[in-house]
Amino acid sequence: MDLKTLKKVFLNLQTFTSDLPVPLVELTMIQTNDPFKVLVATILSARTKDSLTITILPKLFEKVKTIDDLKKIKQEQLEKLIYPIGFYKNKAKFLKQLPKALDEKFNGVIPQIVEEVVLLPGVGRKTANLVVSVGFDKPAICVDTHVHKIMNRFGFLETKNPLETEMELRKKLPQNMWQETNRIIVAFGQYQCVPVSPKCSSCPVKKYCERKGVMKSR
Ligand code: SF4
């Protein structure tokens, strides 16, 4: 698939995904307009379903509204607030380490560059891209398993892992497509082009897709 075709696919998918639920991190930004809360939501949502994380955030944000609140709260109390989220003990530990890391490395301010955000506890490249893109509305490409898999299925890329996919997308996509890539493709991957047995027979973009690596579909 070439870039011209991918643009047509994105146009189709913008319509297709417009009725689907807004992903958790975007929803957090819409509701709070606060990059700190976006950072917290992205750390908590790692390897956890949005539907679970979404139930945790309101009670957490009642108690933790600022970086200062994170400084004051006890780790055990944080653990209770975010339970039963996946890896809740580790995530509570990362959140507790956040104020110190921000103070020591960035004068207490959340950085807006991916290479700096990844230096924060509990933050990988995927999370950092999401914070920059959603929290600060700056060009970044968050590549999760959906983006990695689907870009390869389309035949737009031939990459082995999400990091390689991110680097290739940064080269091949114009910047004005970076931020929408995650939003559109993740929703599409959750509901249509699912990781195992994608729903190709009802797919709105099947006429463009090369279905690379798809062995089994519905
Ligand atoms: S045709 Fe199948 S593999 Fe291609 S995008 Fe659609 S669901 Fe995914």
Region of poorest pLDDT, from 26-35, 131-140, 189-198: 26-35
Each residue of 161-179: pLDDT tens digit?
A: 999 999 999 999 999 999 9
Q: With H, G, I as helix, E, B as strand and everything else as coil, classify residue 160.
A: coil
- Buried residues in 56-73 as b, exposed as e (16+ CB within 10 A): bbeebbeebeebeebeeb
From 147, 185, 203, 218, mutation site for ligand 1 pocket: most ligand atoms within 8 A of C-beta: 203
Q: Is the CB of 1 under 6 A from ligand 1?
A: no
Q: Is the CB of 200 under 6 A from ligand 1?
A: yes
Per-residue pLDDT, 19: 87
Per-residue pLDDT, 75: 94
Q: Is the CB of 91 under 6 A from ligand 1?
A: no
Which atom, in ligand 1's list, is nearest to the CA of 217?
Answer: 2
From 5, 10, 146, 206, mutation site for ligand 1 pocket: most ligand atoms within 8 A of C-beta: 206
Segment holding 152, helix H or strand E: helix 145-154
Cβ proximity of 197 and 149 under 8 Å: no
Which atom, in ligand 1's list, is nearest to the CA of 205?
Answer: 6
Cβ proximity of 153 and 185 under 8 Å: no
Q: Whose CA is nearest to atom 3 of ligand 1?
A: 211
Which atom, in ligand 1's list, is nearest to the CA of 204?
Answer: 6
Each residue of 68-110: pLDDT tens digit?
A: 999 999 999 999 999 999 899 999 999 999 999 999 999 999 9
Segment holding 166, helix H or strand E: helix 162-172
Count Cβ atoms below 10 Å from residue 83 Cβ, excluding itself: 11
CA 197, chain centre distance (Å): 23
Alpha-carbon Rg for the chain, nearest whole angstrom, is 18
Domains of the chain with CATH codes: 3-20+141-202 (1.10.1670.10), 24-135 (1.10.340.30)
The C-alpha angle 156, 161, 167, rounded to 5 degrees, equals: 65
Distance, CA of 200 to CA of 91 (rounded, Å)? 37
